Structure 1
Amino acid sequence: MPGPSRSLSQAADLVRQFNHDTITTGGDWQYPPHAYDAIGSLAYLVGMLPQAIEQTMRPVDRTHQDSRVTVDGGRDPQQAVMQLRAAVTDAVHIARLLSAAVDRMHSAASPLGLDTRGLAEFDEDGEG
């Protein structure tokens, strides 16, 4: 699967890996700043979704403009493209709402920290 579709496939694989890596806490995934960093990256990713979703229409629009779209079962290409466009419009709207929500998550996580008092791994002299 070459080209842009491959890029999205790789992005999906990386999100799947993140989901696997964060099933449990430990090491580099146990404190609020870890969540803050991850949410920031997630906000960046989600913020790009509306454009990515919209741009999936480019090959369809181009082919449709050239009157070259066909539809399985002999359905009307104009109607099929209009249905796809409506779904894309809905997806872009929902992606924008998701992006705003994840941005709020990032802001809410920003002030969270860790009380390190009494945690041996944070004691400067190595004493608990």
Structure 2
Amino acid sequence: MTAKTPAELSDSAAESVRSLNHATLQQSSNGWQYPGDAYSVVGNLAHMAGMLPQAIGQLESLIGSLEDGGNLRSDQGPEDLPGRLIEFHGAIADAIGQAHALQRALDRAHQALGAIAYEE
């Protein structure tokens, strides 16, 4: 079996979230009807959000390494590259911060759901 590339893995992750969005559109008897179902999903989403900063940081490491090696150029010309790299690094820092904030918010939601149960 051939290992998937990072691009393929991120595509699979996006597809999984798309499938989750469809699966949670309507309350059903297929694992989406009780508070415990939401508790599990929120916990899994919090876990996923907690892993995003590392993946995002490793994106930045790749681009930084290519930049340090002089292996980057802009299709818009050499004067365009520095501004694009500044924008990229700033956006990555924002994304890492937002991923941490997302994890904290989902952890809070998970804790809040912990004591909530279904009642007939």
Q: TM-score, structure 1 length as denominator?
A: 0.84
State the Cα distance separating 1:58 from its structure 2 match. Answer: 2.2
State the Cα distance separating 1:92 from its structure 2 match. Answer: 0.6
Unaligned 5+ segments in structure 1 are 117-128
Larger gyration radius, structure 1 or structure 2 = 1
**Residues paired across the two proteins, number:** 115
Matched, 1:113 2:94: no
SS in 1 for 2:76: helix
Paired with 2:71 and 2:23, the residues of 1 have a C-alpha distance of: 44
8 Å CA contact 2:32, 2:38 repeated in 1: yes
State the Cα distance separating 1:82 from its structure 2 match. Answer: 1.9
SS in 2 for 1:39: helix
- AA partner of residue 109 (structure 1): L
| Matched residue, 1:21 | 23
Moved over 4 A (4+): none
Q: Which of 65, 70, 74 is the matching residue for 2:68?
A: 65
State the Cα distance separating 1:29 from its structure 2 match. Answer: 0.6
Paired with 1:79 and 1:23, the residues of 2 have a C-alpha distance of: 41
- AA partner of residue 39 (structure 1): V
- AA partner of residue 63 (structure 2): V
| Matched residue, 1:98 | 102
Paired with 2:74 and 2:46, the residues of 1 have a C-alpha distance of: 36
8 Å CA contact 2:35, 2:118 repeated in 1: yes
8 Å CA contact 2:46, 2:102 repeated in 1: no
State the Cα distance separating 1:77 from its structure 2 match. Answer: 2.4
Paired with 2:12 and 2:74, the residues of 1 have a C-alpha distance of: 29
1:22-78 CA distance string (max 9 Å, x none) = 100111211101100111111111111111111111221111001121012103423
- AA partner of residue 88 (structure 1): I
Unaligned 5+ segments in structure 2 are none
